[in-house]
Each structure stands twice: as structure tokens, then as C-alpha cells.
Structure 1
Amino acid sequence: MKRRLCSLILLPFLLLYAFPVSAAEKEERKWQDETMYYLMVDRFNNGDNQNDQEVNNNDPSAYQGGDFTGVTGRMDHIKDMGFTTVILSPIFQNEKGGYHGYWTTDFYKINKQFGTMKELEKLVNEAHERDLKVLIDLPVTRVSTAHPWTEDDKKVDWFTNKREVAPEKWLGEMATLNLENKAVTKELIQVANYWSEQTKIDGYYLSDAIHAPVSFWGNFSEGLNKDLYLLGESNEQDVNVNKLAAYQKAGLDGMMNGSMMSPLREQFKNVNESSSETPNLLKEVEASWKDPQLSAHYLDTNKTARFTRDIVQENMFPGTRWMLALTYLYTIPGTPVVYYGSEIALDGGEGVENHGLMNFRIDKELIDYMKKIGDLRQQLPALTRGSYEPLYEKNGMVVFKREYQDETLIVAINNTNETQKVTIPAKELANDKELRGLLNDNLSRAENGDFTIILDREQSEVFVLAEESGINLSFIAALAAVYIIFMVFIYLVWKRGRAAR
């Protein structure tokens, strides 16, 4: 009898939860869905003192002790911030002092300062267990002047110049490879295939890709496993988006869009800055790129001054500036790439000054915010796959729409020094729905044919167009019907039991 009563008590709840849940089925993961985190292995975290032979913590231009074990130990830090892909700075054998990884002396050997092949494999495995993808920075345009190839008489034509100052002057003199030479191309394809087979990484971040001939990337990509993702680097701020499109058409999957970096930094370094340039650039990318969603956008890299430097020079509070800028970066079309230390607003100029040590004992306000917007980016396909339509822009206040299938989002960012109010005609959305805020719980309903968005100064909001909240009469009626049926059922059981006596 007790068992029967227990079943009767659970019955209405089972019926209630039997109603279908209206949630979109998760689509297959694509590279445009990624949120990427670039870290410098040497500056991230020291997890094993046994490989600290060249470490000198009193010299910022020397190794500081970061290694593969240290990165593995902080994998949850990266995952918890909402990132889905980790990019490692170059991990190949370098000449003495090459903590940054660009002074390559042997592409087939690992940098012992960072650990062993086994430890790198463990890093990749730990990342994959957390559903994180891994890219390695592969610098193919230049090598160290001490690379054995430079002394090989049979490889004279492998170089266009064996000693010239790199575009990043802090790297000093380097040897520039002749990427129009078929033997060089073949060798670099072999290098890329070797590391992908050994470590099971997911692709490559290709340093200075824009300084290589477009034809090289076509041949290079054809020689690799088609599952590998190839992200080309471009730090040229005045580069034309059409030029970048040519690299994607040649075989690179995505490109770091250097043309966006400077306008993004200008837009968010202070309040009341113009927001007009970036929407125009986004429209240019949409019109010219093979896959516009794989345009990678960023605020800084290991080869630029940090974005925090711009903020400090404007005497602004870095945390708020970063929150606004990252909200924009995560919600516009394209793939966001965030440089390590951004989560603590690390400051620094170009070169060594940029490569500060990561500090994990810090205020978590910015980190928590990054997790929040990172989660939204993963949960809302309109942010990674949807159309883009600017709705409003004036002196720092920007509003745009993202749409994908039946999902409509309105992103509003108030980068001004006062409260802003923007109206959107309801006919562009829906009269019988509401805009529900996902970051700060703002709410807007159509009144007199308009939605009105009100945002405090230096605040952002991501609105989802949803059914109006309130009393759901249909749900209440269904629930009442379930309980009526339940009570009738109990009565019949009771009556039957009584008759049996």
C-alpha cells in the first residue's frame, strides 16, 4: 500500500515533466563557435622547477620558468573563463634566450625549457578532456640566424636574407625563409604534419602569415590534414580587408583581422569615442571574405602594446574598459582571440614589456564577467552564426541586431559618460514579445509601437527577443488538468480498495 501511495504522489510530477522542453537542438560545433585564448608558455605558469636551467627572474628578457606542466595545471582557469580554444606560443627548440619561441633552431625538437614531448602530449590530452581545442603558434617566415640551415651550402636558396631585422624590432636580426622555394614549402609541410601527428593538436596559429606569399599558403594547406585549423596572423593595422580575404581564399581557414585592432582600441580606450568605423569594417569583411565568421578579432597580441596601456594613458579604470570592449568583441561577427593577462588587465608596451608574468591571485570581477559573456557566446548561436545589422550608433552608444533561425538578439553597449535611451520600432522585432536582458536583467516591452532601451553609463546588455513574461494561463490550465486527473484517479483507487474489503 505504501508503495502504491508513493507512486500516486509522484505521478503528477512525472506528468508535469513529460511536457516537451522548447530548446533548440545543439548544432555541430564549428570553428566560428570558438573563443580563443593565446598564452605565452614561458610567462604563464611555472609547474616544474626541474626545467628552469636558463631562468633568471631578475631579467625580464630571460626565461621566467613557465612550462607545459604549468599550463596543464591551470587548464581549468582557461576553461572556467569560457574559452574553448588554447593557442600556445611557439614550442620549438630556440637559441639561447628565446623565451618567446621565435628564434627557432630546430623545428623537430621541443624547447627543453618548457618540458618534454610527453608533457606536451599530456597538456593536449587534458585540454581535450575539457573539450578545449589546442593550436600551436608555428612561425614559418623566419628562423634564428643560428639555425643550421643557414650554414648549409645546399640550402643557400632557402633564404631571401640570412640576416635582417625582423618587423618586430625587439626580435632583432633573423633569417628570412624563401617561401617560394618548393623545397622549403615541402619541409615546412613536413614539420606541421610531424607535430600534429605526434601531439594530436587541432591546428596552427601561423605567425606573420601576411608576410608570406599567398601562393605559399595554398600549397601549404593542401599538404596538411584537412581537419587541422589554420589561423593566419596579421598585425598590420592598415591592411586592407580585401587583402586578408585573399589569404583565406588561398587555403587559410581564418585570419587575424589587423584592420580591426586599432579602431577597436580607439573605440573603447575612453568614453564618448566614435563607434562608426568598426561596423563599416565588419560590413566590408562580410562582402569580401569567403567565410566572414572566421575573421579573428582582437585588442592586442604578444607583438603589440597591450590594450591596457591605451587605457592607462587615458587615465581610465581598466576593468570597466575591458568589460565593454570584450562584450563588443564577443558579440560582433567573427572569432574573438584574447591574449593571456587580459583577465587581470595586465599592462605593458611592445616587446619584452608586453610579456609580463601571469598572476592568478587577483580580483576576480573581470574574470567572472568574461565567464558570463563567454557562456552567452556558447549558448546563443546567433552570436556565432547569425546575421549582423547595426541599428544605432552615436558617440559611443551602439546597438545592433544578431539573428539566426528563430533566435533574435539585440546587443546594446553604452560607452558614454551618461545614461542613454534608444528606441527601436517594434515592427523590426515583434509587438507581442519582450526584450529580456541576459547580463543585467534589463527588460523592455513594446509601447506605442517602440521598444525602449535604457542603459546606465558604461554598461552593456545582451537582449533576447522572447515571449512576454507574466501569468502563463495555458501552463496553469494544463497543470490544473493534471491535478484534476490525479485526484479522480486517487478517488477511483480509494473506491476500488474500499469495495474489495
Structure 2
Amino acid sequence: MKKKLCSLVLLPFLLLYAFPVGAVEKEERTWQDETMYYLMTDRFYNGDNKNDTEINNNDMHAYQGGDFTGAASKLDYIKDMGFTSIIISPVFQNADAGYHGYWITDFYETNKQFGSLKELQQLVKEAHDRGMKVIVDFPITRVSPAHPWVKDTGKAEWFRAKSEQQEEKWLGPMAVLNLENEAVKQELMKVGKWWIEKTDVDGYYLSDAVHSPISFLQDFSKEVKQQKSSFFLLGEGSEEEDIERFKEAGIDSMMNAKLSASLREQFKTVNQPSDQSASLLNETTEKDSFLSANYFDSNKTARFTKMIEQENMFPGTRWMLAFTYLYTIPGFPVVYYGSEVALNGEEGVESHRLLSFKEDQELIDHMKKVSELRQKLPALTKGTYEPIYDKDGMTVFKRQYQDETIVVAVNNSDKAQKVVIPAEELNGNKELRGLLSGGMVRPEEEKFTLIIDREESEIFALAEKTGVNKLFITALAAVYVIFMIFIYLVWKRGKAARASND
């Protein structure tokens, strides 16, 4: 009897959830759907003490102990935050103290401080087992002055006497490769194909691609994609270069440094305009055949948290607003390790601190929410982009894909904001449903009115109006009648039993 009664009580709730809000049918996953996490292997997690021969935790310029095994052991941590791909810092053998991976001395050996080729293969396999992709940071313009090629007099033409690119102070002097030299090009293409064959990685992050000749990139791209047709090439950009020109070189995406600089200024404090970012995003969507990789900081910048701190703002709140914006604009997000705990630091070694894994749960939960929405809503990965409102730090924009419309509102100001949107810009016969904090906005007098608290954001889905569901009401009434009949029968049976006992 109890089982029957429980089923009757649960039935209305089961009926209620039988009518979900419609959504665009999920399509096959593409690179545009990825959410990437860049981890610096040495500064991420130490999973194997046997390779700790050169670590010195008292010197940030020395190895700190992170390795391939450690990265593999934390894949669930990365995936649980909503990331679908990882970018790992250069894996190649380096000169002494080359924790960052850029002081390359041998392209065909792994950095022994990070582990063996077998352990790198295991990292890639475990990522693939979780449905995650692996991209390796592959520096193509510079090597360590200690590289054997530098000392080989027969390879003098392999190097440029002077570099036109700006040297990072924390890297120190580097040997600059002459990528217009045919022998150098052939060697780097050979290296690129070798690592694909040995590890089955899914792509390369081409460090300093922006300083590489287009002719080199064209040939390199052609060769590695013959090795693996789905292979992804992500290039490092700069604020000065138009990243669109790299599309013809076979590069699939470029790190959008110009947009990154704008975003850092926009979100470092309150009441900052977003018109420059909106303008850059409009340019991006006009060139829809080329992906923009969007980010707030990288291994070559100061931490975004440092800018926030200098403005005397609270990092967690700033980062939550930043992530909402980053995960909902055109392109795909690339997040530098430690951003999930608002890691701080100046450009260079200070930016490469060891991750403590002391979670900022509120920030991580927010990342999970926006990442989940990005994966579920095609409009956020493939949709058009249309700015609706931008004033005094309050920005609202619309993303549309097929029948799906998403409205994103970010209040980067120090007071609550009200935004009125004419119903004709959306659909007066529908309503906006909040997907982060909940709530609903219906059109009144031919307009939608959004009210967003200070330093808060919301992602709205345009959906059919929720009204009286006749089928649900009928079912609920039926449950009520059945329940009353059931109570009557129980009462009647009890009465009959008492009468027989008398």
C-alpha cells in the first residue's frame, strides 16, 4: 500500500518533467565546441617523485616537480571544471632549468624532468579515454643557445643573426631559427610528424606563429595534416598582427591577443566600457571561417589577477564576470592553469607559480555552470553575435543559431542596472528564462526589461511562455480523483473489517 501511495504522490512531478524546454538538436562536436585549459607541466602537479632529480622548491627559476604522470592524475579535475581539451607546455628536452619548455636542446627526446615518452603516451591515452583532446605547445622560431645545431658550423645558415621579434626577459638570449631555410623547414616538419606518430596528440600550439613566414606555415600545416587529417593548429598571435591572414597558411585558429588586451582592461575593474571588445568581436564574426581563441592571460603575460589586485578589486567576483563573457562570445575559450583559483603573479616566473589546488569553490562552480551551458547550447558556439546594449559597464548581446536564441547580460558596474529591449528584437510571444540564477522575464508593453545586480551576470534562453498546461492540469486532476477513490476504498475496507469483528 505504501508503495502505491508513494507512486501516486510522485506522479505529478514525473509528469511535470516530461515537458522540457525544446533545444537545438546536438550536432557533431567540432573544434569550435572546445574549451581549452593550458597547463605548464612543471608547475601543475608532481605525480612521480622518481624524476625529481633537479627540483628546488626554494627557487622559482628551478624545476618544481610537475610531470606527465601528475597531469594524467588530474585529468578528472580538469574535466570536472568543464574543459574538453588540454594544452601542455613544450615536452622536449631542455637546457638546465628549462622548466617552461622553451630552452630546447633536443626535439626528439622528452624532458626527463617531466617523464618518459611512455608516460607522455599514457597521458594522451588517458585524456582520449575521457573524451578529451591533447595539444602540445610546439615552439617553432627559437631554441636554446645550447642546442647542438647552434654549435654545428655546417648549420650556420639555420639561424638568423638578429631576431625581429621581441625577446621575453625571463627567457633570456635565444637562438632564432631561419624558417626560410629549406633544411630547417624540413627538419621541423619531420619533428612535427614524428610526435604525432609516437603520441597520437590532436594538435600543436605553435608558439610565436605570428613571427613565422606564411610559406613555412603553409608547408608545415600540409605535412602534419597528411599525417593526421583532423589535426588542429593553434597559433600564438600578437596585438599588432591581423590574425586573419594566417588562415591562408592552414592555421586553424589564432590566439586573439588584441581582444585579450581589450578584455583585460574591460574586466579589471567596474564601470569599464565594452565597446572596443564588441567592435573586435564583430570583426571576428564577419570572418566566420576562422576561429578566434579567446583568453585573459597566458604563460607569456602577467596574470589577470595581478591587474585586478592593482585596482583593489576582489578577484573572485572579477573572474566570474570574465568567465561568463569569455564562455559566451564568438570563438572558443583558452584558460591558463590556476585561473580557477585566481592565481596571481607578474609576467614571467611569478606568473608560473606552482598550483596549490586550494579550490575557490564558488569560482569553480561558476566555471562549471557556464561551461555546461556552452556545451549544451549551440548558439554559444556556432551562433551569430549581435550587441544589444552597452553603457557604463553594462553589456548585453544576443547569440542565435537556427531556432535557438540566447541573450547574455553582464553588469560590470558598481550598481544595479536596468536594460529595456524592444520585444521585436527578440520575440514578444516568448519569454526569457535565466539559466545561471533562474528567474524569468516576460514582455510587458512590447518590451523586455532586464534587471541585473551589480557585478552579476545572467544567460537567458528565449523560450515558449510557460502558462497553464492543460494536459498537466488534467493529469493532476486525475491523480486527485484516483487518490480520493483510493482513500474511500481504504476507509470502506476498514469499516467492513470492524463490522465483521463486532
Give the TM-score taking structure 1 as reference length. 0.90
* Alpha-carbon shift at residue 479 of structure 1 (Å): 7.5
Match of 1:425 among 414, 422, 425: 422
2:123 corresponding residue in structure 1: 123
* Alpha-carbon shift at residue 442 of structure 1 (Å): 2.8
Kindly indicate whether the alpha-carbon contact (under 8 Å) linking 1:166 and 1:172 is maintained by their aligned counterparts in 2: no
**Mapped partners of 2:432, 2:17: distance in 1:** 29
Q: Write the letter of the residue equivalent to 1:226.
A: S
Q: Which ranges in structure 2 are unaligned for 5 or more consecutive residues?
A: 483-502
2:439 corresponding residue in structure 1: 442
Q: Evaluate the alpha carbon distance shift between residue 172 and residue 19 of structure 1 in structure 2; reply closer, same or farther with a 3 A threshold.
A: closer
Q: 360-369 or 266-275: which moved more?
A: 360-369
Q: Write the letter of the residue equivalent to 2:216.
A: F
2:196 corresponding residue in structure 1: 196
* Alpha-carbon shift at residue 287 of structure 1 (Å): 2.7
Find the residue that maps to 1:124 and give its secondary structure. Answer: helix
Q: Evaluate the alpha carbon distance shift between residue 198 and residue 260 of structure 1 in structure 2; reply closer, same or farther with a 3 A threshold.
A: same
* Alpha-carbon shift at residue 480 of structure 1 (Å): 7.1
Q: Write the letter of the residue equivalent to 1:449.
A: E
Q: Evaluate the alpha carbon distance shift between residue 308 and residue 209 of structure 1 in structure 2; reply closer, same or farther with a 3 A threshold.
A: same
1:352-431 matched pairs, under 5 angstroms = 352-431=349-428
Kindly indicate whether the alpha-carbon contact (under 8 Å) linking 2:143 and 2:174 is maintained by their aligned counterparts in 1: yes
Determine whether 1:133 maps to 2:133.
yes
Percent identical among aligned pairs is 60
Number of matched pairs: 476
Q: Write the letter of the residue equivalent to 2:341.
A: I
Q: Write the letter of the residue equivalent to 1:417.
A: D
Find the residue that maps to 1:161 and give its secondary structure. Answer: coil
Kindly indicate whether the alpha-carbon contact (under 8 Å) linking 1:163 and 1:174 is maintained by their aligned counterparts in 2: no
Determine whether 1:265 maps to 2:267.
no
1:497 corresponding residue in structure 2: none
1:308 corresponding residue in structure 2: 305
Per-residue Cα deviation, 1:93-146 (whole angstroms, up to 9, x for no partner) = 000110000000000000000011111111111111111111000001000111
Match of 2:462 among 462, 465, 468: 465
* Alpha-carbon shift at residue 157 of structure 1 (Å): 1.4
Q: Which ranges in structure 1 are unaligned for 5 or more consecutive residues?
A: 486-501
Q: Write the letter of the residue equivalent to 2:229.
A: K
Q: 384-393 or 429-438: which moved more?
A: 429-438
Find the residue that maps to 2:335 and give its secondary structure. Answer: strand
Regions of 4+ moved over 6 Å:
15-21, 162-165, 478-485
**Mapped partners of 2:474, 2:337: distance in 1:** 53
Q: 401-410 or 243-252: which moved more?
A: 243-252
1:221-260 matched pairs, under 5 angstroms = 221-224=221-224, 225-234=228-237, 236-239=238-241, 243-260=242-259
**Mapped partners of 2:326, 2:17: distance in 1:** 40
Kindly indicate whether the alpha-carbon contact (under 8 Å) linking 1:330 and 1:373 is maintained by their aligned counterparts in 2: yes
1:282 corresponding residue in structure 2: 281
Kindly indicate whether the alpha-carbon contact (under 8 Å) linking 2:297 and 2:303 is maintained by their aligned counterparts in 1: yes
Q: Evaluate the alpha carbon distance shift between residue 479 and residue 249 of structure 1 in structure 2; reply closer, same or farther with a 3 A threshold.
A: farther
* Alpha-carbon shift at residue 483 of structure 1 (Å): 11
Determine whether 1:85 maps to 2:82.
no
Per-residue Cα deviation, 1:207-235 (whole angstroms, up to 9, x for no partner) = 0110111121111101113211000012x
**Mapped partners of 1:132, 1:288: distance in 2:** 27
Per-residue Cα deviation, 1:469-496 (whole angstroms, up to 9, x for no partner) = 24212444478799999xxxxxxxxxxx
**Mapped partners of 1:119, 1:386: distance in 2:** 39
Question: What RMSD, in angstroms, separates the aligned Cα atoms of the two structures?
Answer: 2.7
**Mapped partners of 2:174, 2:233: distance in 1:** 24
**Mapped partners of 1:309, 1:194: distance in 2:** 39
Match of 1:333 among 321, 326, 330: 330
Q: Write the letter of the residue equivalent to 2:391.
A: K
**Mapped partners of 1:96, 1:19: distance in 2:** 62
**Mapped partners of 2:287, 2:462: distance in 1:** 30
Kindly indicate whether the alpha-carbon contact (under 8 Å) linking 1:162 and 1:175 is maintained by their aligned counterparts in 2: no
Kindly indicate whether the alpha-carbon contact (under 8 Å) linking 1:92 and 1:109 is maintained by their aligned counterparts in 2: yes
**Mapped partners of 1:37, 1:214: distance in 2:** 27
Find the residue that maps to 1:401 and give its secondary structure. Answer: strand
* Alpha-carbon shift at residue 161 of structure 1 (Å): 2.8
